[in-house]
Amino acid sequence: MVHLWDAKDVSGAWLVANVQSYRGSDWDSYLLFGPEAAWTSQPTPVRSSGAPVFDRIEELSQALNPLLSQPR
């Protein structure tokens, strides 16, 4: 297991600046991208996002279920 800690929040600042629907709280948040996501200058499209994760677990589960049941 690898744990990477971003104490200066460099990744969070980049996400806020580059993902239109993302508003921060990156230490306890999620961004869900589907298989159609293109990581070019901006990762798009965002299927779901939220924070804090614990409070949004049902929303995350509902957003994940269709992706998990899609044939490859």
pLDDT at 72: 65
- Whether the link from the prior residue into 52 is cis, omega within 30° of 0, is yes
Query: What are the structural domain ranges in the chain?
Result: 10-69
Amino acid at 37: A
Q: How far is residue 21's CA from residue 62's CA, in Å, rounded to a whole number?
A: 18
pTM for this model (two decimals)? 0.73
Residue located via tokens 């490859």: 72
Distances (CA, A) of 51 to 1, 2, 29, 58, 69: 24, 23, 4, 12, 24
Q: What are the pLDDT tens digits along the chain (72 aa)?
A: 777 888 888 888 888 888 877 776 667 888 899 988 888 887 888 888 888 889 999 999 999 999 998 776
